[in-house]
Amino acid sequence: MAGSTGGGFRASLSGPILKYYAYKATKAVEFYRPIMYLFFLAQGLSFTQIAVLEALYNLTTLFGEIPTGYVGDRVGRRNSLLVGTALISVTLLGIGLSSSFLPLAGLYVCWSLGYNFRSGSEDAWLYDTLTDDLSEDEFASVRGRGESAALAVGAVAAVSGGYLGSVDLSYPWFVAAGVTSLGVPVLLTLDEPETYEETASEDLSLRRTVRIVRDVLSRRRLRSLLLYYYVLYAAVTYLVFVFLQPIFETVVLDLGVPKPQVESLLGWFYAAYSLVGAVLTYYTGAIRERIGLRTWFLVLPFAVGGALVGMYFVPVLAVPTFLLIRGVSDVTRSFAGQYVNDRVESLGRATVLSAMAMVSGLAVVPFQLGSGVVSDAVSPLFALGVAGVVLVVGAAAILVWEAPVGDDSVGDQV
């Protein structure tokens, strides 16, 4: 069979895939992530202003995903990744140099555009590369190992970022910009997959692109998955990453940790955070075989939503809850990408994946703005508790309408 274990193992060790792992290791987000929102608060921003920045990011995603996905389908996935990586590197440098809301707002727009160029093109490049080797059903496993490589590097980066942040909250941004820029020479060594080059990409008009996306989203089960994961689950868990740092700070201070140690402790926490994610994403394929996509997606929102509600009543539960959500986030993203990729043709693939991200970016905006106001009025813990209730109730309502994932076979009715 094309996706046999041996074939998948060989595919995961091929030259292009090893370069893909190297590229994933340059993402560098863990340098600044432990101090990201503490940095913004130190610049005098309120929770509402931080929520506005996140909303700007996602509105840019909304308006930029389809055009940048189209660019990825027309000019090549590698070229799209190059533009995105270079733009992100420059933006990270700019954020570290900024000290007020308005410059950060402009940089957030550029930051989102950088990820627009990478989002659909990255998964589309990987899936087509695996298709060249007849190993496309190994997508979730290989993508999981790529995320695992990024997170393993991120564990070291998180500790470094925490200590750098304790010296100056700008330093982690500068280091992240430098490491991210290393992705450019790695990407320059990659070739476009033969599967992509054999498609008639020059014939991909905007009208045909819209028709491809419309046809894909006309399938009821894919619409259900879009609402269930890309809208509801993604929006709620996004808030976790926004409010993790102020909540963590509150919890550890209540436990008696001196305030000057918070940044370095956050670095160690993010290292553990990354290692949990690295272990789980490395075994993405094994998790799929033992649990199955259907069971995973049925259980996940209720487990996460229940944990968010629970930590409001017992704040110390925030620490294991954050580790849980970190651990399953990349596994879930790989599963969703596998499920959608299996049902999309190569021509237009990057655009379809970008369309999914676009809808997700739109949906998260009201969650962000509402949670910012609630956090300023009550507390971030209360805002996440409300989000947990919304996740549980919303997931149950969608399941009554249509289960988002059928069996694991490519040909199930969607």
Predicted local distance difference test score (pLDDT) of residue 393: 95
Predicted local distance difference test score (pLDDT) of residue 237: 87
Predicted local distance difference test score (pLDDT) of residue 102: 93
Three-state SS sequence of the chain: CCCCHHHHHHHHCCHHHHHHHHHHCCCCHHHHHHHHHHHHHHCCCCHHHHHHHHHHHHHHHHHHHHHHHHHHHHHCHHHHHHHHHHHHHHHHHHHHHCCCHHHHHHHHHHHHHHHHHHHHHHHHHHHHHHHHCCCHHHHHHHHHHHHHHHHHHHHHHHHHHHHHHHHCCCHHHHHHHHHHHCHHHHHHCCCCCHHHHCCCHHHCCHHHHHHHHHHHHCCHHHHHHHHHHHHHHHHHHHHHHHHHHHHHHHHHHHCCCCHHHHHHHHHHHHHHHHHHHHHHHHCHHHHHHHHCHHHHHHHHHHHHHHHHHHHHHCHHHHHHHHHHHHHHHHHHHHHHHHHHHCCCCCCCHHHHHHHHHHHHHHHHHHHHHHHHHHHHHCCHHHHHHHHHHHHHHHHHHHHHHCCCCCCCCCCCCC
Written as six digits, the tokens of 35 are 């101090």
211 to each of 65, 205, 217, how far by Cα in Å? 16, 10, 10
Predicted local distance difference test score (pLDDT) of residue 131: 76
Predicted local distance difference test score (pLDDT) of residue 200: 44
Closest CA to 353 of 362, 364, 343, 363: 343
Give the pLDDT of the chain (414 residues) as one tens digit per residue: 334 444 444 445 567 888 888 888 887 677 888 888 889 989 999 888 988 898 888 788 777 666 666 665 666 778 888 889 999 999 999 999 998 999 999 999 999 888 878 876 777 778 778 876 656 667 777 877 887 778 788 888 888 888 898 889 999 999 999 999 999 999 888 877 776 655 544 444 455 555 655 665 666 667 788 888 888 898 888 888 888 888 988 899 888 888 888 888 888 887 887 788 778 888 888 888 888 888 999 999 999 999 999 999 999 999 889 888 877 887 888 888 778 777 766 555 666 666 676 677 677 778 878 888 888 889 899 999 999 999 999 999 988 888 887 654 444 444
Predicted local distance difference test score (pLDDT) of residue 177: 94
Predicted local distance difference test score (pLDDT) of residue 331: 84
Closest CA to 82 of 190, 198, 200: 190
Per the confidence metrics, is the pTM higher than 0.75?
A: no
Q: Give the distance from CA 270 to its chain's centroid.
A: 16
Structural domains present in the chain: 15-194 (1.20.1250.20), 203-407 (1.20.1250.20)
Predicted local distance difference test score (pLDDT) of residue 210: 57
Predicted local distance difference test score (pLDDT) of residue 28: 65
Written as six digits, the tokens of 28 are 């560098």
